[in-house]
Amino acid sequence: MNTPEELSAFIAKSFTTYREGSIVNGTILEIKPQVVLVDIGYKSEGAIPLSEFEDEEFDVGDEIEVLLERLENDEGMVVLSKEKAAHKQNWDKIVKVYQDGGLVRGKVKSVVKGGLMVNVGVEAFLPGSQIDIIPPKDLAEYVGKVFEFKIVKVNDDRKNIVLSRREVIEQERAELRQKFLGEVQVGDKVSGMVKNITDFGVFVDLSGMDGLLHITDMSWGRISHPSEMIAIGQTVEVMILEVNREKERVSLGLKQMANNPWEKIEDRYPVGQHLKGKITKLVPYGAFVEIEEGVEGLIHVSELSWTKRITRPSDILELDQQIEAVVLGINKDEQKISLGVRQLEPNPWDEVESRYPVGSQINGKVRNLTAYGAFVELEDGIDGMIHVSDLSWTRKINHPSEILKKGEDLEAVVIDIDKTNQRISLGIKQLENDPWSEIDTRFKVGDLVTGVVAKIASFGAFVQLQDDIDGLVHISQLSEDHVTRVKDILKVGDDVEARVIKVDKVERRIGLSIKAANYDTEQLEKETKAFEALRPSADLVGLEHAFNLATEDWSPGQSEDAPAEEEDKDE
């Protein structure tokens, strides 16, 4: 006889309404090689493929939930599915979580185009852009791992679900960031991982937020790029320098973790001290030398040698070279130390006056020629300069190459020494007495002289006389006839005979007359008076001035036609 409980269950079962698509309870009746028979209390049993029971332990008599797909198939059996029952239940749960804004856990199954497939009870798609804050390089590394996800899209019709792990991470970071900003203080020491490197600094991940470690706060020394010290993924300990809670920004310092080497720098490296260091950088204007970690000094190119003309420091120095130097100056505020190398040796210019006293004769070699003079090497690194005006007492030299050659050995006299500007003035003409001091004893008015035309100008011609002394034949003294152009009468290189009609020792000029070459004494006196009457007319100029006005020069080997062409410029 049935008990009251069995009777109640039988009555409830008899009046159960069976609807296709609903989830019902069933009991396992028999386990066969391919299927499992399940009784749901209907007039026939249902067969469920054994594959739907994988990874589960079950036995005859166990109660399970199944989906009633059809009440009767062609063979008169009920069509049931355990998997579809679970899928329907899971789908409903997913929809509920989505509506509530909650999170789901799931296991990454495989890599697909554009992202990953995840099992969250049902299959869901995780786009590549939603995997992490920083897009991963290798999606395969996520397969088989379990994470929490936010459901961002559910399509009930297509049964599609889209997930995001990135939003979960961002939410976690936001909470951590607020907590960090609420607790951190300036001066705190924190650890973080380097996540990005730029030219101006490094971004460090600090408990959910990024802090900026600027390049100027990385080292007390000089670095060109942050990558010289730090790599992505590296864990660093830094100090909080500034916190802006409104803008959620944090400034970090790495060099502040160590003592400032510039403190008491003047005590460790007083001016005049000799020290050793390593060359870290060569630039056109000098060389940087590391004295100790975080401290560099600069050797300016001008401080490399007392005498050598060094254009580029790289000509005599190399990177990583160990070098000795002298401290010349310290600017603690700007963190600059000036160093010198030449100070390791005596300055040869300090004794130059005793080695080359003014008035002494020296021997040297012409090192270079310029438009204004010649540089003569007295010793290694010390030159003297002969100005073009100190080459000859009597000749007007337009360029030193007229009488000097590069590499030529010569004698000269020391005229002046400027130690401050490191200049020595030399002269060649000073080797001899000034012929103009006794010119009135060598040339007298009325003397008949011969010479060669050296220069032609619009106002006359210069004639080179004995001992390189030049006389001026004014255009009015060329001929008895009126002369319009000097070159119509004379050419450079012509031999001429002329009469001396004026000797001026003070203004260093000799006046000559070609037309008076055959004059008698009376005619000569008359012409001399006429010549004197030209003063102070602009037609007659001092020899120094006349040379400056003359634009036509002649030197051995020069074409005689060339000077004549120049005369047109003076007319």
Q: Is the pLDDT of residue 150 over 70?
A: yes
pLDDT of residue 17: 66
Average pLDDT over residues 508-531: 79
pLDDT of residue 160: 84
User: Which residue carries 């409980």 as its tokens?
Assistant: 5
Amino acid at the residue 240: I
Q: Is the pLDDT of residue 552 over 50?
A: no
Of 71-85, 400-414, 464-478, the one with minimum mean pLDDT is: 71-85
Report phi then psi at 270, rounded to 5: -65, 155
Alpha-carbon distance of 173 to 185, in angstroms, equals: 19
Check residues 388 and 523 and name the one with the higher pLDDT: 388
pLDDT of residue 12: 47
Of 90-99, 216-225, 447-456, 486-495, the one with minimum mean pLDDT is: 90-99
Count CB neighbours of 222 within 10 A.
14
Q: Is the pLDDT of residue 263 over 60?
A: yes
Q: Is the pLDDT of residue 3 over 70?
A: no
Domains 16-85 and 348-431 share a fold: yes
Q: Is the pLDDT of residue 8 over 60?
A: no
Say if domain 348-431 classifies as CATH 2.40.50.140.
yes
Q: How confident is the model at residue 6 (pLDDT cuts 50, 70, 90)?
A: low
User: Which residue carries 């100190």 as its tokens?
Assistant: 390
Q: How confident is the model at residue 559 (pLDDT cuts 50, 70, 90)?
A: very low
Given strand 63-70, what is the order of strands in its sheet?
Answer: 46-49, 35-39, 23-31, 63-70, 79-81
pLDDT of residue 346: 83
Tokens for 237, please give them: 């300990």
Q: Is the pLDDT of residue 569 over 60?
A: no
Q: Assign domain 444-570 to a CATH class.
A: mainly beta
Q: How confident is the model at residue 535 (pLDDT cuts 50, 70, 90)?
A: low
Q: Is the pLDDT of residue 359 over 90?
A: no
Q: Is the pLDDT of residue 85 over 50?
A: yes
Q: Is the pLDDT of residue 474 over 50?
A: yes
Q: Is the pLDDT of residue 387 over 90?
A: yes
Checking phi first, is residue 300 left (phi over 0); if not, alpha (psi -120 to 50) or beta? beta
CATH hierarchy code of domain 265-344: 2.40.50.140
Check residues 366 and 55 and name the one with the higher pLDDT: 366
pLDDT of residue 16: 54
Half-sphere exposure of 124 (CA within 13 A, CB side): 33
Half-sphere exposure of 384 (CA within 13 A, CB side): 29
Q: Is the pLDDT of residue 568 over 70?
A: no
Check residues 380 and 360 and name the one with the higher pLDDT: 360
Count CB neighbours of 115 within 10 A.
18
pTM above 0.75, yes or no: no
Q: What is the residue extent of each domain of the chain?
A: 16-85, 101-169, 184-257, 265-344, 348-431, 444-570
pLDDT of residue 219: 85
Of 43-52, 112-121, 309-318, 425-434, the one with minimum mean pLDDT is: 43-52
Count CB neighbours of 252 within 10 A.
25
pLDDT of residue 203: 92
Alpha-carbon distance of 367 to 383, in angstroms, equals: 8
pLDDT of residue 5: 56
pLDDT of residue 551: 39
Q: Is the pLDDT of residue 467 over 80?
A: no
Q: Specify which of 82-86, 154-158, 220-224, 422-426 reaches the highest per-range mean pLDDT.
A: 422-426
Average pLDDT over residues 3-19: 54
**Percent of the chain clearing pLDDT 70 (strictly above):** 86
What is the pairing mode between strands 509-513 and 470-474?
parallel
Is the separation of the CB atoms in 487 and 473 below 8 Å? no
Alpha-carbon distance of 464 to 16, in angstroms, equals: 145
pLDDT of residue 287: 92
Average pLDDT over residues 520-532: 73
Give domain 101-169's CATH superfamily: Nucleic acid-binding proteins (2.40.50.140)
Q: Is the pLDDT of residue 70 over 80?
A: no
pLDDT of residue 570: 37
Average pLDDT over residues 465-492: 87
Contacts of 67 (CB under 8 A, 6+ apart): 21, 22, 23, 80, 81, 82, 84, 85, 88
pLDDT of residue 455: 86
pLDDT averaged over the chain? Answer: 81
pLDDT of residue 550: 44
Q: What distance separates the 2 farthest-apart alpha carbons in the chain?
A: 186
Q: How confident is the model at residue 421 (pLDDT cuts 50, 70, 90)?
A: confident
Half-sphere exposure of 204 (CA within 13 A, CB side): 27
Signed CA dihedral, 18, 22, 23, 27: sign only: positive
pLDDT of residue 515: 86
Give 335-350 pLDDT, tens digit per residue: 899 999 988 888 888 8
Of 63-77, 108-122, 418-432, the one with minimum mean pLDDT is: 63-77
Check residues 159 and 143 and name the one with the higher pLDDT: 143
Among the four given CATH numbers 3.40.1800.10, 2.40.50.140, 1.20.950.20, 2.60.40.2240, the one describing domain 184-257? 2.40.50.140
Average pLDDT over residues 359-384: 88
**Percent of the chain clearing pLDDT 90 (strictly above):** 18
Secondary structure of residue 82 in the 3-state scheme:
helix
Count CB neighbours of 173 within 10 A.
17
CATH hierarchy code of domain 16-85: 2.40.50.140
Give 224-242 pLDDT, tens digit per residue: 899 988 898 899 999 989 9
Alpha-carbon distance of 214 to 193, in angstroms, equals: 15
Of 432-441, 468-477, 492-501, 532-541, the one with minimum mean pLDDT is: 532-541
